[in-house]
Chains A and B, each alone.
Chain A
Amino acid sequence: MTDTYADLLACEDLLLFASAAISSTGQREFHSGAAEQRLSLEFLHEYVHGTHPDLYALALALHVNDHNAAAIVHRLLSNPRTGASAGERARENALIRRRLAEMPPQRVYRLFARLARERVNNRRTRATMRAWIAARPNLDLDAVKYRPGLRAAARHARVALPEEVGVFLFSPPGERRRHRYGSPLLRAHGRAHYSASDLYDLPYTVAEGFAARHRVPRGVFLEGVRERATRAERLRLAGTARRHGVGAGPDPAAAPLLRLCVYVLSLPTAERRDRRAELEGALAASALRAAGPAAGTWPRTAAVLDDSYSSIGSPVRRHHPLAAALACHHLIRALAPDSTSHWVSGHTDPLTVRPAGPTHLAERILDALDTGPARVVVVSDGHDSTPPLLADTLTLWRRYVDPDRATAMVHLNPVFDADGLGMRPLSPAVPTIGLRDPRTLPSLVELARFGEGRLGLSDLREHLRATADAYLEAP
């Protein structure tokens, strides 16, 4: 290995940044508040952007979550690197466009509005905004649903809009409503100001405001707007809809794995037990979809999953760590059919897990190792009740019991530890990587190899470049 000590440190910094950018969303967590999370995250962005400007943009290809992807794009646009070669600039631009195209539109509009507010008006920013808005499939819908964002972006980057959309966005209210639109959506928006029966042609979030204004009863509104709600909205509103006795629930089988797990955990245990066949089927199907072509390719794996009380998360991310663990359970089942799962509480039925009890990881990890797996995946926030005991156990295991590395162990942490400015590790002997959406599990396990200190910065740089190229070339 030709890497110097500084290179190893740089490697560690990059992994730390990638982990934080994958897991943290700047929201409140069980052990730390939102302000601390944002402060620590901001610092990491600043630090990596300052010290490794060439690698900073490549993180966009690494399954960082949308919150951090938006932060990276914001920094790249508002603080462009001087002295980058034309090739590197082109790659950055391509990464930015690709990532924005995959991001939910509300996040992109929020980013654009922020750039406009901060008066970031360089050529790259304008070009990015123009290109993204030009690629929108239905600008009428955007004009109704994301009006402030589209308005700010269009005005800021001088984007040419279709005439009707321009009138809708930029004329005074009276004129806007009186204008005779050709688009049915824009017409419906004008009419919904005066008639409650017209609001059901609008998207759910917009219609909700009009429903409140016309004092439409909640049950009536939910029944009428069901067709217009997106799938995620329907899943989120399932509980409310049931309370108001509105129609059939959402179809969970179609939901992405993590969202589905959050939905399952939001149900009372009795109901989970009653709908066992349906929910387990949906979870397995969703996990198979998430695994994609990798399904069934993993070696024998044992999962250690944290369902201690701290996995309840926070009111703003309710059950998030537990949902991540549940999703990992099903995904690992799909990736390696002969895998075993070990919940920290000793619970054996994954469908009815609840966040309760203390965290004693050491015993469960030993249980997992007893099954003789090739790979052990630990999903935990890293807050063990007796941290030194766990750290020593794992170190001794690596040093004396398994020095040949017959078993690989990786710790996936769904929670960013703002106080420790990183992911809280279990032990120096086990690499720790951030986790948000378990769909990215295979690539995370790949990335975790760099945390063991056996591969250096040059390898990581190579890996990042290759990942970015693969990301850009993917259909």
Chain B
Amino acid sequence: MSERFPGLALGEGVRTGPAQQWGNVRLVPLLRSAPVPRLRLHPLVAGDLVDDPASQDDGTCCLVPHAYVLTWEGDTAPSASYGTQILPPRSPAPRRAHLDLRSRKARTAVRGRARFLPLDLAVDGLLSLHAGGPSVAWAEWSRATVHRGLSSPALTTYLGGEIEGLAEALRVFEIHPDQCGVVVHLADVLASAHLYPHPEDYRALHAGLLMDMFGESLYMYGLLAGEARPLYTPIRERGVRTLADLRERVERSRSDTLRAHDDLMLSSLTGGLHTSGGSRDFGGAGAPDPRERPFTVRWLVPAFARGGVDHVGEVVADRHGRVAYLKSLRLSPAQSRRGRLLRVLGEAGWELDRAALSLGTTRSGLVDRLERARLSHLLSPGLLAEHRAATRRRAP
């Protein structure tokens, strides 16, 4: 059911632009030759869009990115969208998770208009979505974690605003007129990629990157590394005699640099990813038959190869498979381990013994692993207690 992700096979109207760097942050713009027709950010998300897409009556769909915190019409409190959603304009509120406003963390997330959820909720939600496994009770999980705030010592994500230098790099970044997205490299490690259907959408959410999530290792990179050098392919000196020669060399240097970036620095995103199925709730507005839907939402699931670089994310593609919306996030090693376990469990049909067999371990070894990966809440309390008692008995 999974297929190779065709998305960032740039060239179908999307290409990378010349990078800009500030400190150790490198931002590479994603440019579109033309905006994706009939898809815009939901006007509630982008409160300051110049033209209100809902006012156009040509069947334009509206996009609500995953984990955005909004106050919907008719609601008294803000809530977070659960999974990226595509809605007709002026539609009733979609599937959403209400937040517990008693927690300080949730309150700070709500101030302002469109925000990301507290990170750990968002990432864990995304991971469990990807695994497609036994549906982890999102609402309860969320409430429990919100109550405790950041109590977990293994917290693995950071806000973009906490990453050294990212705020400044975003502030001084010069947005291209036809820019619809950005690829963020921290200390030349691909951190995340964002792509929207329309330049206005990107402009509205450019600063929102600060509320995005980044893995722990990227936070460390942000602290440690020095300056990112500009990407540049040296001009060949020989044979330059006229201005036309020089102009041709400049053009070649620019295109070589872009190609080198796409081949070397984007490969972990464009290479190993797989999309996995659009679920029943997702799809276009008002078309019951999936083939009729103008847009489909799919999740990006990494291959979870040992030692590889894993990205998760969501992608909205149109009927021809062109990417209209993309958001990816590089996982920290702990999250990768968690994702690998979930994947094996999913493939084994959630049977512990089969999963243990395919991992080359025993049933209790697998439970150990799940516990270490902080996934023990997936197991029934009885099984867990039994396992812990057995471990204690075995210990001297």
A357 and B237: CB pair below 8 A?
no
Given contacts A385-B20, A389-B250, A401-B246, contact A356 B172 (CB under 8 A): no
Q: Report the contact-size class of chain B (Cβ under 8 Å from the partner).
A: 20 to 34
Measured between beta carbons, the chain A residues less than 8 angstroms from B245 are 401
Measured between beta carbons, the chain B residues less than 8 angstroms from A43 are none
Specify which of B18, B172, B241, B246 lies most central, judged by the most chain A CB atoms within 10 Å of its CB.
B246
Interface members, chain A 295-329 (any B CB < 8 Å): 308-310
CB distance from A398 to the nearest CB of B (A): 11
B230 and A386: CB pair below 8 A?
yes
Q: With an 8 A cutoff between CB atoms, is A388 at the interface?
A: yes
Measured between beta carbons, the chain A residues less than 8 angstroms from B242 are 401
Q: Scan A366-378; emit 1 where CB is below 8 A from any B CB, else 0.
A: 1001100000000
A360 and B235: CB pair below 8 A?
no
The answer for the CA separation of A397 and B243 in the assembled complex, in Å, is: 8
Q: With an 8 A cutoff between CB atoms, is B357 at the interface?
A: no
The answer for the CA separation of A308 and B176 in the assembled complex, in Å, is: 9
Measured between beta carbons, the chain B residues less than 8 angstroms from A386 are 18-19, 230-232, 254, 257
Q: With an 8 A cutoff between CB atoms, is A40 at the interface?
A: no
Interface members, chain B 38-57 (any A CB < 8 Å): none
Interface members, chain B 223-245 (any A CB < 8 Å): 230-232, 234-235, 237, 240-243, 245
Q: With an 8 A cutoff between CB atoms, is B3 at the interface?
A: no
Q: Which of A356, A396, A397 contacts B175 (CB 8 A)?
A: A356
Q: With an 8 A cutoff between CB atoms, is B174 at the interface?
A: yes
Measured between beta carbons, the chain B residues less than 8 angstroms from A356 are 174-175, 177
CB distance from A388 to the nearest CB of B (A): 4
Number of A-B contacts (CB under 8 A): 78
A360 and B232: CB pair below 8 A?
no
A392 and B18: CB pair below 8 A?
no
Q: With an 8 A cutoff between CB atoms, is B247 at the interface?
A: yes
Measured between beta carbons, the chain B residues less than 8 angstroms from A360 are 18
A389 and B232: CB pair below 8 A?
yes
B175 and A392: CB pair below 8 A?
no
Measured between beta carbons, the chain A residues less than 8 angstroms from B237 are 396, 400
Measured between beta carbons, the chain B residues less than 8 angstroms from A309 are 173-175
A396 and B235: CB pair below 8 A?
yes
Q: With an 8 A cutoff between CB atoms, is B362 at the interface?
A: no
A359 and B235: CB pair below 8 A?
no
Q: Which of B230, B243, B249 contacts A369 (CB 8 A)?
A: B243
B176 and A389: CB pair below 8 A?
no
Q: With an 8 A cutoff between CB atoms, is A337 at the interface?
A: no
CB distance from B241 to the nearest CB of A (A): 6
Measured between beta carbons, the chain A residues less than 8 angstroms from B234 are 388, 392
A363 and B250: CB pair below 8 A?
yes
The answer for the CA separation of A362 and B254 in the assembled complex, in Å, is: 11
Measured between beta carbons, the chain B residues less than 8 angstroms from A308 are 174
A393 and B246: CB pair below 8 A?
yes
B253 and A366: CB pair below 8 A?
no
A387 and B230: CB pair below 8 A?
yes
A389 and B174: CB pair below 8 A?
no
The answer for the CA separation of A155 and B234 in the assembled complex, in Å, is: 65
The answer for the CA separation of A303 and B176 in the assembled complex, in Å, is: 23
The answer for the CA separation of A369 and B244 in the assembled complex, in Å, is: 11
B172 and A392: CB pair below 8 A?
no
Q: Scan B113-126; emit 1 where CB is below 8 A from any A CB, else 0.
A: 00000000000000
Q: Which of B177, B241, B257 contacts A400 (CB 8 A)?
A: B241
Measured between beta carbons, the chain A residues less than 8 angstroms from B254 are 386, 389
23 contacts between A and B (CB under 8 A): A30-B172, A356-B175, A356-B177, A357-B174, A357-B175, A358-B17, A358-B18, A358-B174, A358-B175, A359-B174, A366-B246, A366-B250, A369-B243, A385-B20, A386-B18, A389-B232, A389-B235, A389-B250, A392-B234, A396-B240, A401-B242, A401-B245, A401-B246
Query: Considering the complex of A and B, which 8 residue pairs feature the smallest CB-CB distances, nearest first?
Result: A309-B174, A358-B174, A388-B232, A400-B240, A392-B235, A366-B247, A385-B20, A362-B250
Instruction: Using CB atoms and an 8 Å cutoff, list the residues of chain B in contact with chain A.
Output: 17-20, 29, 172-177, 230-232, 234-235, 237, 240-243, 245-247, 249-250, 253-254, 257
Instruction: Using CB atoms and an 8 Å cutoff, list the residues of chain A in contact with chain B.
Output: 30-31, 308-310, 345, 356-360, 362-363, 366, 369-370, 385-389, 392-393, 396-397, 400-401
Q: A386-B230, A388-B232, A400-B241 are in contact. List 15 more A-B contacts (CB 8 A).
A: A309-B173, A345-B177, A356-B174, A357-B176, A358-B176, A359-B174, A385-B18, A385-B230, A389-B250, A396-B237, A396-B240, A397-B243, A400-B237, A401-B242, A401-B246
